[in-house]
Chain A
Amino acid sequence: MLRPQKFIRTHFDLCTGCSLCKTACSMHMFGGYNPNRSMIRIRHLWENLAHIPIVCEHCKNPMCLKVCPTKAISRHEKTGAVIIDQEKCVACGLCQKYCPLEMIYVNPETHKAFKCDLCQGDPECVQACPFNALELLNQE
């Protein structure tokens, strides 16, 4: 399995915690602003002395993909992102359980899993960050 062609590299030393990435994500995913409903997390450490953004790494070895019993999780042909097919997801919760970065989210009503899809290769969060703390890298 290949690393995705594109992935987001985080730079915690540049992150200010402003959460613009999270609001952009919530707009992309749900059509409105609320950083609590983002696919990105930020750990605010030591009374805000450090902010550590956490994003889905679209792993080379994605445990979420391996544990999915219905093959609902796959790699996107073009972007290489690890994505979830909502039709195939049976809401078993295994992918969420086996993501060590806690990057899989569950719809509170349907219990189906969803996650970062790299915005089809042009992530809104990267565009929204004024501090260059998120960087879109190409594998090549």
Chain B
Amino acid sequence: MPDTSYMGQMLHIDLTRAKFADIKIPSWLMKIYMGGKGIGAKLLLDLVPENAHPLGPENILMFLTGPLTSTPAPAMRACVVTKSPLTNSFLDSYFGGYFGPEIKYAGYDGLIFTGCSPDPVYLYIDHKGPSLKSAENVWGQGAMESNQSIKARLKTNDVRIASIGPAGENKVPFALICCETNRQAGRGGAGAVMGSKNLKAIAINGNSLVQIFDKKMFKNAVSAANKEIKASLECQGLMAAGTAGSVEFANEAGLIPVRNFSDGTSSLAAKLGDKGQSQKLWLSRSACFGCPIACSQMGAVRTGKHASFVTDIVEYETAAMLGTNLQIGDPRSVAYLNRLCDELGIDTISTGACISFAFEAAEKGLLPELPNHELKFGNVQAAARLIELIAYQQDELGKLLSLGVKKASERLGPGAENMAIHVKGMEMPAWGPRGTPGMGLAYMTADRGACHQRGFPVAYEATGMEWKGKPVKALELEGKAELVYSLQNYLAGTDCLVKCDFGSMGITPETYALLFNAATGQNIEASYFDQLGERIWNTTRAFNLREGMDTADEILPRRFIEEPLPSGPYKGHRITEKDMKYLLRDYYRTRGWDSEGKPTEEILNKTGVELNRKFSLES
């Protein structure tokens, strides 16, 4: 095989038998699905038996890189793919940092965990190969704390670690995986799957070289990509203020969640955005591996009652979900809640939604009182206590909220449904869609439940940016299905590289294709990412339908259907049943799916989804 940026093999770790095998990925599979999300979608479909319990030994957990991960191609990441315990369907969760590239330096394109270890273990890989080590002494530790303890036990700082916190051990269905340093595979509960396998961490130090097919061409492509990033206004914004810059934007657009999404504007936004954070927190910049954007603003909470600790930037999603959404306006307090979530190992988006659900339910008298803490918006200590209760599944309240808002609202009964802000079980991120129906459609149809990263029409709807030569009108329904379909396909296609969404704000499809071709010796066109993405959307759809997804669940939370937005430029708007029907029908038609949202055999064939050609670990 000529030198390419693929390592050509994956490591299969059978945790039940403590056995390892190097798995060659057949060339047909690499060719059809490229890497990252694509490979993950196909392997999940082929390797997880139908109706396997997400937290049972039959589920698999994969850490997957792409052909550009670990190279200087700017802003690349890696991903975790598994069956989600939160949604019972396909889950892909992306992470930057340094852990992803290290998988390739260890000589692998990915790690595939199957089975369940009888005792708590962590996987260690160095130049001598893989081994499983006892995690008895680190079990129970926080996600970042265990990173440090494992390094101390291995007597080296030269390993890159992915780990779970207590929430993952307790199998909280929105537990995260913390990937060095402080980058989370946050959404959908991959941390719970890791915990269910008794796998506390993975520590890697590799000495393999990642090769490039055509070095000169690659160098030129990297320069082109860097130039595009430098010239992009969006990327410049991220360099200056990370995603914190979105706080005031979302507030002005009336999209920011306030008091459990009951409103879309908040007077707290100015304090929680980049101006507030830069005053109270920020000290220096930090980057993921190989990234010229460096969207992280590192800082410290050095004053106030939570002092003192180091904090990464409070990302937009967290600033909104644990800030405006909870009526908490001090960035130091939000950084504190953020830190608690990171260390205990739970997703800040889902956790924020669970807490705002609890605050609202308590205000309406649907929840029992919590000793010593008043459950009400604005109460930082109550929020902190709830985070602990959720992560440790303590008390009735902790057990209830740790189910996620969908199941918690079902348990609470009538009256609670309108407060549960989710799609298909996944809590909604911080972009309330009442003024942006395209975003609503993206939530309804995203393959992992309510997610803003599988298609983000807000970028067009709230700004009037042009799509195919025409400015997009926020409230219009027409054309939104095509927009969502196109964005979803392109993102999924480039999630095979594995790109970071922030790099893709600057890097063009042509340059991504150039980078890929130079690194691997293949010859794709820029439009290939759309085709690849469409294949993937049909693959994940096939998986989700096989696992019992009901397309009747492709609806928005009741609140957005029934309650008009009280403020902001889209004041008075909601997305009606009729709107949703129109959007969905248009979307299914655009995808070539039947009226029930199922891919026809014709579209599966057309997009190259081969259900009968299966990959097996034994082959």
Tell me whether A and B are bound partners.
yes
- Which A residues contact B (CB, under 8 angstroms)? 13, 16-20, 23-24, 26-27, 30-37, 44, 46-51, 128, 130-131
Cβ distance B102 to chain A, nearest Cβ, rounded Å: 8
The reply on B285 being an interface residue by CB < 8 A is yes
CB interface residues, B 128-165, toward A, < 8 Å: 144, 158
- Stretch in contact with the other chain, from B290-298, B444-452, B483-491: B290-298
Complex contact A13–B72 (CB within 8 A): no
Complex contact A33–B285 (CB within 8 A): no
Question: Mind listing 6 A-B residue pairs with CB under 8 Å?
Answer: A27-B215, A33-B212, A36-B105, A49-B283, A49-B284, A130-B292
Complex contact A33–B181 (CB within 8 A): no
The reply on B211 being an interface residue by CB < 8 A is yes
Complex contact B287–A17 (CB within 8 A): yes
Cβ distance A47 to chain B, nearest Cβ, rounded Å: 4
The reply on B289 being an interface residue by CB < 8 A is yes
Render B198-223 as a binary contact track against A, CB cut-off 8 A, 1 for contact. 00000001111111100100000000
A-B contact count (CB 8 A): 88
The reply on B182 being an interface residue by CB < 8 A is yes
| In the bound complex, CA of A92 to CA of B158 (Å) | 25
Complex contact A44–B181 (CB within 8 A): yes
Given contacts A18-B290, A32-B211, A48-B182, 14 further A-B pairs with CB under 8 A are A16-B285, A19-B98, A32-B210, A33-B70, A34-B105, A34-B209, A34-B210, A37-B209, A47-B144, A48-B296, A48-B298, A49-B300, A50-B284, A131-B292
| In the bound complex, CA of A35 to CA of B299 (Å) | 26
Cβ distance A63 to chain B, nearest Cβ, rounded Å: 24
Complex contact A32–B287 (CB within 8 A): no
Please pick, from A18, A26, A46, A50, the residue contacting B291 in the complex, using a CB distance under 8 A: A18
Render B275-312 as a binary contact track against A, CB cut-off 8 A, 1 for contact. 00000000111111111101010111000000000101
The reply on B88 being an interface residue by CB < 8 A is no
| In the bound complex, CA of A47 to CA of B541 (Å) | 40
Complex contact A46–B181 (CB within 8 A): no
| In the bound complex, CA of A112 to CA of B299 (Å) | 42
Complex contact A131–B312 (CB within 8 A): no
Interface residues on chain B, size class: 35 or more
What are the 7 tightest A-B residue pairs by CB atom distance, in nearest-first order?
Answer: A32-B209, A18-B287, A16-B287, A130-B292, A33-B210, A16-B294, A47-B310
The reply on B226 being an interface residue by CB < 8 A is yes
| In the bound complex, CA of A35 to CA of B510 (Å) | 28
Chain B residue numbers with a CB within 8 Å of A37 are: 207, 209
Residue in B71, B209, B291 with the greatest tally of chain A CB atoms within 10 Å: B209
Complex contact B207–A36 (CB within 8 A): yes
- Which B residues contact A (CB, under 8 angstroms)? 3, 70-72, 98, 101, 105, 144, 158, 181-182, 205-212, 215, 226, 283-292, 294, 296, 298-300, 310, 312
Asked, given contacts A24-B72, A33-B212, A49-B283, whether A19 binds B158 with beta carbons under 8 Å apart, the answer is no
| In the bound complex, CA of A26 to CA of B144 (Å) | 29
Please pick, from A13, A19, A34, A49, the residue contacting B207 in the complex, using a CB distance under 8 A: A34
Complex contact B294–A36 (CB within 8 A): no
Cβ distance B296 to chain A, nearest Cβ, rounded Å: 8
Complex contact B283–A23 (CB within 8 A): no
Complex contact B205–A48 (CB within 8 A): no
Chain B residue numbers with a CB within 8 Å of A131 are: 285, 292, 294
Chain B residue numbers with a CB within 8 Å of A32 are: 3, 209-212
Chain A residue numbers with a CB within 8 Å of B291 are: 18
Complex contact A48–B207 (CB within 8 A): no
Complex contact A33–B287 (CB within 8 A): no
Cβ distance A24 to chain B, nearest Cβ, rounded Å: 7
Residue in B205, B206, B292 with the greatest tally of chain A CB atoms within 10 Å: B292
Asked, given contacts A32-B209, A49-B298, whether A19 binds B289 with beta carbons under 8 Å apart, the answer is yes
Complex contact A128–B286 (CB within 8 A): no
Chain A residue numbers with a CB within 8 Å of B144 are: 47
Chain B residue numbers with a CB within 8 Å of A47 are: 144, 181-182, 298, 310
Chain A residue numbers with a CB within 8 Å of B299 are: 49
| In the bound complex, CA of A23 to CA of B72 (Å) | 7
Chain B residue numbers with a CB within 8 Å of A18 are: 287-292, 294
Complex contact B158–A33 (CB within 8 A): no
Complex contact A48–B290 (CB within 8 A): no
Please pick, from B3, B209, B300, the residue contacting A26 in the complex, using a CB distance under 8 A: B209
Complex contact A33–B182 (CB within 8 A): no
Chain A residue numbers with a CB within 8 Å of B290 are: 18-20, 23
Chain B residue numbers with a CB within 8 Å of A46 are: 310
